[in-house]
Amino acid sequence: MGETLPPQWRRNLIQVVPMLITLALILVAAAPAQTSTVVPVTPMLALMSIFYWSVYRPEWLSAPVVFFLGVIADCLLGGPLGLNAILYLFAYGVTTAQRLILQSRPFAISWLAFGMVTLTCTALSWLIGALFYGTLFDPLPFMVQALLTVLLFPLFARGLIWAEVRLARLA
Amino acid sequence: MRIRETKVMHHAMPLRAWGHRLAFGLFVFAAIALIILSRIDQSLSDRLRQSVLDIFAPAITVVQEPVGAFNQAVAEVRALIALRDQNLALLESNRRLQHWRDTALQLEHENSQLRDLLLTSKEPLQNFVTARAIGDPGGPFVRTLILRTGVEAGIDKGDPVLGDNGLIGRVITVGRTSSRVLLLTDLNSRVPVLIADSRIRGILTGDNTAQPRIAFLPQSAEIGEGERVITSGDGGLFPQGLTVGRVVRLEDGGIRVALSTDIARQEFLRVMKYTPLAVDPVPQPDLSGPMRMLAPLWAAAKDAPPTAQSCTGATLGTGGEGVPLPMQRPEDAARQAAAR
Res. B279: pLDDT tops 60: no
Residue A64's pLDDT is 92
Better-predicted residue by pLDDT, B84 or B73? B84
Query: Greater confidence, B144 or B266?
Result: B144
Residue A89 contacts residue A119 (beta carbons within 8 Å): no
| Residues B226 and B252: beta-carbon distance below 8 Å | no
* Interface probe with A: pick from B20, B35, B142, B181, most Cβ of A within 10 Å: B35
Chain A residue with CA closest to B65: the answer is A31
- Alpha carbon of A84 to those of A51, A67, A125, A152, B326: distances in Å? 14, 8, 8, 19, 68
In a 10 Å sphere around its CB, with 0-12 CB exposed, 13-18 middle and 19+ buried, how is residue B277 labelled? middle
Give the residue from B156, B136, B160 showing the smallest Cα distance to B270: B160
Query: Where is average pLDDT lowest: B218-222, B268-272, B326-330?
Result: B326-330
pTM: 0.74
Q: What is the pLDDT of residue B76?
A: 81
Mean pLDDT of chain B: 78
pLDDT at B331 exceeding the cut of 60: no
Q: What is the pLDDT of residue A32?
A: 66
Indicate the residue type of A132. Answer: F
At residue B310 the predicted structure's pLDDT band, cuts being 50, 70 and 90, is very low
Neighbouring residues of A95: CB distance < 8 A, sequence distance ≥ 6: A50, A51, A54, A55, A102, A113, A117
A117: closest CA of chain B, how far (Å) = 17
Evaluate if residue B318 carries a pLDDT over 50: no
Judge: B27–A67 Cβ closer than 8 Å, yes or no: yes
Q: At what angle do helices B14-40 and B2-12 cross, to 10 degrees?
A: 90
Interchain pair A32, B136: CB under 8 A:
yes
**Ranges A122-131, B24-33, B45-54, B73-82: which has the least confidence:** B73-82
- pLDDT confidence bin for B291, thresholds 50/70/90: low
Q: What is the pLDDT of residues B40-77, one digit of tens each?
A: 988 888 889 899 999 998 888 888 777 777 777 877 88
pLDDT score for A2: 54
Q: Do B27 and A34 touch (CB under 8 A)?
A: no
> Tens digit of pLDDT for each residue in A26-70?
988 887 655 444 456 788 999 999 999 999 998 899 999 999 999
Residues 128-147 of chain B with CB under 8 A from chain A are 133-146
pLDDT of residue B333: 44
Q: Is B95 on the interface with A (CB under 8 A)?
A: no
**In the 8-state DSSP scheme, what is residue A80?**
S
Of B31, B63, B187, the CB nearest to A82: B31
User: What is the pLDDT, as a whole number, of residue B323?
Assistant: 38
ipTM of the complex: 0.88
The residue among A47, A89, A144 with the most chain B CBs within 10 A of its CB, best to mutate, is A89
pLDDT attached to residue B164: 86
Q: Among A67, A98, A102, A122, which would you mutate to test the B interface (most chain B Cβ atoms within 10 Å of its Cβ)?
A: A67
Which residue in chain A is spatially nearest to B60 when comparing CA positions? Answer: A27
Cβ within 8 Å, pair A85-B34: yes
Share of chain B above pLDDT 90, in %: 29
Q: Is B24 on the interface with A (CB under 8 A)?
A: yes
Size of interface A-B (CB pairs under 8 A): 153
Q: CA of B54 to nearest chain A CA: how many angstroms apart?
A: 10
As beta bridge partners, residue B214 has B204, B255
Quick one: average pLDDT of B91-100?
Answer: 93
- Please tell me the distance in Å from B101's CA to the nearest CA on chain A: 34
What are the φ/ψ torsions at residue B57 (nearest 5 degrees)? -55, -45
Say how far apart CA A115 and CA A119 lie, in whole Å. 6
Q: Which residues are B250's β-sheet partners?
A: B255
pLDDT at B296: 56
What dihedral do alpha carbons B166, B171, B176, B178 form, nearest 10°?
-60
Give the model confidence (pLDDT) of A79-112 as tens digits. Answer: 889 999 999 999 999 999 998 988 888 999 999 9
Better pLDDT: B169 or B11: B169
Position B26 scores a pLDDT of 93
For B102-147, the pLDDT digits (tens) are: 999 999 999 888 888 888 776 666 789 999 888 776 678 888 888 9
Are A70 and A43 in contact, with CB atoms under 8 Å apart?
Answer: no
